[in-house]
Chains A and B, each alone.
Chain A
Amino acid sequence: KAGVTQTPRYLIKTRGQQVTLSCSPISGHRSVSWYQQTPGQGLQFLFEYFSETQRNKGNFPGRFSGRQFSNSRSEMNVSTLELGDSALYLCASSLDPGAGANVLTFGAGSRLTVL
């Protein structure tokens, strides 16, 4: 069974640019969540999508957005990049939430460097 796949794995952008990251969840998983990991900050929740709808949103500015497609694949976008957006962006998928408390399966992440 394939795991959570994130692309690209590494990318470098400059301030002011925008970036789109992609996530393919485990087959059958309908919930996709995004997290940002920076040194010393742990993982911070960005947002969650379920059935193409944003169900939860973290405390990030509107420059961070996402969407989910009918096949559960998800993308997140960051516009007007700032130096502080340099981080590892992790995508996680999980089964139908009605199954109980969630165990998230994470991808390897997309490492974004903003210059």
Chain B
Amino acid sequence: DQQVKQNSPSLSVQEGRISILNCDYTNSMFDYFLWYKKYPAEGPTFLISISSIKDKNEDGRFTVFLNKSAKHLSLHIVPSQPGDSAVYFCAASGPSSNTGKLIFGQGTTLQVKP
């Protein structure tokens, strides 16, 4: 049972344009969501997070949107840069979880073309 799903295995965008990565979840008890970025031969790196009490969180070029009614979150990268090319994982935790257990999606490979 895949509780967190990233239905697009890959995404290709032009440099300078917007990248939108999507994630759906099924467990309504999740209350904290994170995005991680992973380069080959490296571990995942934390990018941005959002609590279920918010619907938007912004950090520089990265914005995460949460739609609780649709159980959907998205990561927007504006403007996209070639260095953003990586695998992006969304993850969820909850309820009120302060542990190291995160439920990850399968990942989306983003390619930003110069």
Contact = CB atoms under 8 A, between A and B. Distances in A.
A98 interface: yes
Chain A interface residue number, banded: 20 to 34
Interface in B1-16: 4, 6
B104 A104 contact: no
Contact of B43 (A42, A97, A109): A109
A4 interface: yes
Main SS of the interface on chain A? strand
Nearest to A9: B41
Contact of A101 (B51, B103, B104): B51
Nearest to A100: B98
Interface of B: 4, 6, 31-32, 34, 36, 41-46, 49, 51, 89, 91, 93, 97-107
A29 B105 CA distance: 25
A107 B43 contact: yes
Nearest to A44: B104
Contacts of A41: 106
Contact of B99 (A40, A43, A97, A103): A97
